[in-house]
Structure 1
């Protein structure tokens, strides 16, 4: 259940980030409202997840997966082009999350 709340936080964050771009600096009302509601939901669900998951682990997963999913949406929806250094950077973020979760004993969960 704890990872369900983290997943909801990640999904809400990705929705918020995507609609933030669509809001065009908060000049479009509906995307701006969706952005605010999504970020409120994101931090609410993240706060619940933090009751059960150590901060370092939760934040690494939330941040890492949020970046990757937002990048995918950016390519698919907004037609953003990524160069090789950007792709390498995203892969390094994913690798960091994997190392932290599967190999680190610092924040056992």
Structure 2
């Protein structure tokens, strides 16, 4: 169940961060409320996931997938720039998470 909780937590983290962008510095009520709700749910589910997952791996996956998804949303939805360094940075994040996952429990 830990991976299920983590996956849903990541979805809420992505939604919360997107809402944060839409909140215009937390000055727009509905997006600001969505930020609070989404992050509350995300952290609760992350805590539940940590009952059965290693904290280092779970947090790395949570933050890496969220970072990659938000970078993609920034590019595709908000028209943010994409360049070689941004793509290299995202690739390094993926490599780090994969190496943590391959290390296995207790490594």
- TM range, smaller chain: over 0.9
Q: How many residues align?
A: 107
1-structure distance, mates of 2:32, 2:104: 41
TM-score by length of 1: 0.93
Q: What is the deviation of 1:105?
A: 3.9
- Structure 2: give runs of 5+ residues left out of the alignment: none
TM-score by length of 2: 0.95
Deviation at 1:79, TM superposition (A): 1.0
Q: Unaligned stretches of 5+ in structure 1?
A: none
Using the TM superposition, give the Cα deviation of residue 91 of structure 1 relative to its aligned residue in structure 2, in angstroms.
0.5
Q: Distance in 2 between matches of 1:40 and 1:86?
A: 29
- Match of residue 64 from structure 1: 64
* Contact 1:9 1:42 (C-alpha < 8 Å) held by counterparts: yes
1:8-23 matches, within 5 Å, as 8-23=8-23
Superposition RMSD on alpha carbons, in Å? 1.2
CA change 1:50–1:90 in 2 (3 A) is same
Match of 1:97 in 2: 97
